[in-house]
Amino acid sequence: MKILVCISHVPDTTSKINFSEGDTKFDTNGVQFVINPNDEFGLTRAMWFKEKQGASVDVVNVGGAETEPTLRKALAIGADNAIRVNAEATDGFFVAKQLEKVVKDGGYDLVIAGRESIDYNGGMVPGMLAALTGANFVNTCIGLEVEGDTATVTREVDGGKETATAKLPLIVGGQKGLVEESDLRIPNMRGIMMARKKPLTVVDPVAAEEGVKTVQFEKPAPKGDVTLVSPDNIGELVDLLHNEAKVI
């Protein structure tokens, strides 16, 4: 089985976010970038298929040279090959068009992508990629098994879970639950050394219309002052909620 894992290069959630050039550009100074958490769950599941079923695992990213350390980390975790499409990831459709060519050229049986990236939270790419390639698609995937050319998938639905089967080729939008958090892997020294020798191929982007243009970024409004009330003074709390906050 040939697996492709889509990797997004995203800011660590603990990073302090700032903008430059009149709030039109994201300021990357001092920001640490990581593998998108939803993608990391998918990569870990792909490693399971590699170890238990002998699958080959490639990783792909759409981005500039600055994203290569993130791809190298995926190689250190255990992926066999990395592909970087040399283009800025401007919007979901543009990214899906770039991935479409990689998927078709590579002849992958299974493509695992995060259901969304934690920077823009668009949640568009896996479904668009499935539509472009004609592959079966399961989103919000929290369980995945493959036997022959049939996958058994479990996904989150409103109020519960749903289990279904699908034929390969298949694209899944994975998330937390695809593997346990305790199963996520930290690259060891041997993996890091081996990653330096593994192939990282840079390919040119295909022509694709950009459907989204960022005009300006805006930070959320700062949080207001906090009034502390003693737990012994319920009357004061009720008075503040009624007369000041006006929520009761």
pLDDT at 225: 83
The Cα-based distances of 118 to 16, 158, 213 in angstroms read 14, 21, 19
pLDDT at 214: 84
Backbone angles phi, psi at 171, to 5 degrees: -115, 130
In tens, the pLDDT along 80-123 reads 999 999 999 989 999 999 999 999 999 999 999 999 998 888 89
pLDDT at 71: 97
Task: Indicate the SS3 state at residue 17.
Answer: coil
pLDDT at 224: 81
Task: Indicate the SS3 state at residue 31.
Answer: coil
What's the alpha-carbon Rg for the chain, to the nearest Å? Answer: 22
Residues belonging to the chain = 248
For residue 62, list its beta bridge partners: 85
- Cβ–Cβ < 8 Å for 175, 126: no
The structural domains of the chain, with segments of one domain joined by +, span 2-215
2-215 under CATH 3.40.50.620, yes or no = yes
What contacts 54, CB < 8 A, 6 or more positions away?
Answer: 1
Residue 243 DSSP code = I
Q: Which residues of the chain have pLDDT under 50?
A: none
pTM of the full predicted structure?
A: 0.86
For residue 232, give the amino acid letter.
D
Query: Longest Cα pair distance anywhere in the chain, in angstroms?
Result: 69
Q: What is the mean pLDDT of the chain?
A: 93
Task: Indicate the SS3 state at residue 124.
Answer: coil
**Residue 42 to residue 172: CA distance in whole angstroms:** 9
pLDDT at 63: 96
